[in-house]
């Protein structure tokens, strides 16, 4: 058993707090920028300034999608009663699945405006995205949020303000995100049709996440649906969407 005693605040500059959680996302953004630069040399002819724009589009639409999805699927009644909380993302409340959908839409808008192949850009972004996702889950762990279910395994953690010893499900999710990154990195130079890497990500992520949800505490306001969490239900849909997406890719005439 371990006791979670990490201070989520790295430093204070006056009233401003620099948190490890935010630092992880900044690090993921920076590493993603340079990773995309490297990957683009082989796949997409894109300028450095355009990469910055691509990340901005992906980030803005990703956050909007993550917030909207969380409101609609995880806590709609709360936000109906507390509309002033709709934009308070600093209080938490972002959905991965909404972020994935919103980010993909942002890439689509960017590709249309700048005449890039949409599927090429999806493949370009998804590799560093999977790595950044792993960093983000480490940030969740340091914050002591999204704890796992009660357990007696030797590596369980006691989180501040949460009863009992819990699975460090955030670290499980971080681990499989890095595994997915490794698989995609290995596949990135293979001859595949455009968009295939993104489709593979959808299948891998939904499978890993469905399994690890058995170790993660369900959202208090939702509970379980016939033994399954909302995350598991959404991952079933994501897996099906991944199969349909790959089938569409295989039927397309492009490379």
DSSP label at residue 34? H
Q: How far apart are CA 177 and CA 185, in angstroms?
A: 12
Alpha helices in 44-117 (DSSP H): 48-74, 76-81, 96-114
Specify the DSSP class assigned to residue 69: H
What pLDDT sits at residue 167? 97
Does the pLDDT value for residue 237 go beyond 90? yes
In this prediction, residue 205 carries a pLDDT of 98
Q: Could you tell me if 112 and 134 lie in one domain? A: no
Please indicate, yes or no, whether residues 79 and 192 belong to a single structural domain of this protein.
no
Tens-place pLDDT, residues 86-144: 887 766 678 899 999 999 999 999 999 999 999 999 999 999 999 999 999 999 999 88
Verify that 54 and 15 share a domain, yes or no. no
Answer for the pair 126, 184: CB distance below 8 angstroms, yes or no. yes
Whether 234 and 133 share a structural domain: yes
Q: Are residues 178 and 220 in the same domain?
A: yes
Boundary (domain end) residue, out of 95, 116, 137: 116
Other CB atoms within a 10 A radius of the CB of residue 135 amount to 21
Same domain, 86 and 128: no
User: d(Cα 249, Cα 202) in Å, to the nearest integer?
Assistant: 13
pLDDT per position as a tens digit, 195-227? 999 999 999 999 999 999 999 988 878 888 888
Mean pLDDT of 160-176: 95
pLDDT digits (tens, 9 = 90+) for 78-100: 888 888 888 877 666 788 999 99
In a shared domain, residues 144 and 80: no
Domain boundary at 116, 146, 172, which? 116
Q: Do 73 and 16 reside in the same domain of the chain?
A: no
d(CA 109, CA 231): 27
Sign of CA dihedral 49, 133, 94, 6: negative
Q: Do residues 11 and 137 both lie within one domain?
A: yes
State how many domains the chain has: 2
C-alpha to C-alpha distance for 7 and 61, rounded to whole angstroms:
31
* Nearest Cα to Cα of residue 209 among 133, 145, 141: 133
Q: Give yes or no: residues 64 and 142 share one domain.
A: no
> What sections of the chain are H helices per DSSP?
20-43, 48-74, 76-81, 96-114, 118-143, 169-187, 196-212, 230-251
| Structural domain range at position 49 | 45-116
Q: Which of 56, 90, 116 is the last residue of a domain?
A: 116
- Asked if residue 253 has pLDDT above 70, the reply is no
Both 172 and 88 in one domain: the answer is no
Task: Note whether 147 and 189 are same-domain residues.
Answer: yes
How many angstroms separate the CA atoms of 88 and 140, rounded? 18
Neighbours of 30 (CB within 10 A): 11
CA distances from 252 to 42, 45, 118 (A): 22, 22, 13
Give CA angle at 215 (150, 24), nearest 5°. Answer: 105
**CB count, 10 Å around CB of 224?**
11
Do the beta carbons of residue 186 and residue 225 sit within 8 Å?
A: no
């Amino acid at each position: 058993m371990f006791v979670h005693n990490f201070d989520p605040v790295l430093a204070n500059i006056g009233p401003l707090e620099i948190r490890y959680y935010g630092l992880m996302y900044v690090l993921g953004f920076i590493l993603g920028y340079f990773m995309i630069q490297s990957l683009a040399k082989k796949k997409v002819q894109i300028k450095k300034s355009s990469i910055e724009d691509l990340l901005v589009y992906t980030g803005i639409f990703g956050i909007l999608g993550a917030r909207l999805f969380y409101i609609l699927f995880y806590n709609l009644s709360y936000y109906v009663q507390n509309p002033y909380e709709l934009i308070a993302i600093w209080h938490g409340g972002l959905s991965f699945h909404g972020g994935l959908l919103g980010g993909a839409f942002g890439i689509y808008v960017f590709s249309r405006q700048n005449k890039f192949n949409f599927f090429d850009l999806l493949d370009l972004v998804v590799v560093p995205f999977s790595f950044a996702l792993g960093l983000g889950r480490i940030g969740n762990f340091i914050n002591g949020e999204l704890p796992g279910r009660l357990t007696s395994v030797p590596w369980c953690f006691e989180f501040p303000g949460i009863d009992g010893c819990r699975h460090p499900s955030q670290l499980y999710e971080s681990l499989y995100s890095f595994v997915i990154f490794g698989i995609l990195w290995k596949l990135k130079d293979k001859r595949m049709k455009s968009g295939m890497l993104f489709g593979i990500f959808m299948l891998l992520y939904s499978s890993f996440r469905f399994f690890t949800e058995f170790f993660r505490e369900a959202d208090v306001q939702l509970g379980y649906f016939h033994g399954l969490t909302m995350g598991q239900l959404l991952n079933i849909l994501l897996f099906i969407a991944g199969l349909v997406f790959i089938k569409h890719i295989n039927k397309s005439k492009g490379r």
